[in-house]
Amino acid sequence: MLFNTITFLLFFIIFFITYWLFKEKHFKYQNLFLLIASYIFYGWWDTRFLSLIILSTLVDYVVGIQIYKSVSLKHKKLYLYISLIFNLGLLGFFKYYNFFISSLQESITALGFSIDTWTLTIILPVGISFYTFQTLSYSIDVYRGELKPTKDFISFAAFVTFFPQLVAGPIERASHLLPQFLSPRKFSFQDARIGINLITYGLFKKVVVADRLALYVNNIFNDIGNANTISLLIGIVFFSLQIYCDFSGYSLMARGLSKLLGFDLMVNFKRPYLATSIPDFWRRWHVSLSTWFRDYVYIPLGGNRVSTFKIYLNLFIVFLISGLWHGANWTFIVWGALHGIFQVIYLVYKKATYSNNTVLQKKNDRFLLKFFKILLVYSLVCFAWIFFRSQTIEEAVYFISKILEFDFSINLAQLSAFKGPLNLLLSFFAILILLLSYLLPENLNFKRNSDYLLFNFVIILLIILLGVNGKAGFIYFQF
Residues with active-site annotation: 326
C-alpha to C-alpha distance for 281 and 244, rounded to whole angstroms: 12
C-alpha to C-alpha distance for 405 and 409, rounded to whole angstroms: 11
Q: Cβ–Cβ contacts within 10 Å for residue 145, how many?
A: 10
Query: Which residues neighbour 263 within 8 Å (Cβ) at sequence distance 6 or greater?
Result: 162, 164, 177, 180, 185
C-alpha to C-alpha distance for 128 and 146, rounded to whole angstroms: 25
C-alpha to C-alpha distance for 95 and 122, rounded to whole angstroms: 8
Cβ atoms of 242 and 209 closer than 8 Å: yes
Helix axes 330-352, 308-326, angle to 10 degrees: 150
Amino acid type, 54: I
C-alpha to C-alpha distance for 169 and 146, rounded to whole angstroms: 22
Cβ atoms of 47 and 214 closer than 8 Å: no
Cα–Cα nearest to 202, from 281, 274, 260: 260
- Rounded to a whole number of angstroms, the CA Rg of the chain reads 24
Cα–Cα nearest to 154, from 135, 181, 136: 181
C-alpha to C-alpha distance for 421 and 468, rounded to whole angstroms: 16
C-alpha to C-alpha distance for 451 and 445, rounded to whole angstroms: 10
Angle at 209 between CA 207 and CA 214, to 5 degrees: 85
DSSP code of residue 303 = T
Amino acid type, 87: N
Cα–Cα nearest to 394, from 471, 349, 335, 330: 330
Query: Which residues neighbour 2 within 8 Å (Cβ) at sequence distance 6 or greater?
Result: 8, 471, 473, 474
Amino acid type, 49: F
DSSP code of residue 384 = H
C-alpha to C-alpha distance for 419 and 229, rounded to whole angstroms: 19
φ, ψ of residue 328 to 5 degrees: the values are -85, 75
Amino acid type, 374: I
DSSP code of residue 294 = I
C-alpha to C-alpha distance for 168 and 128, rounded to whole angstroms: 9
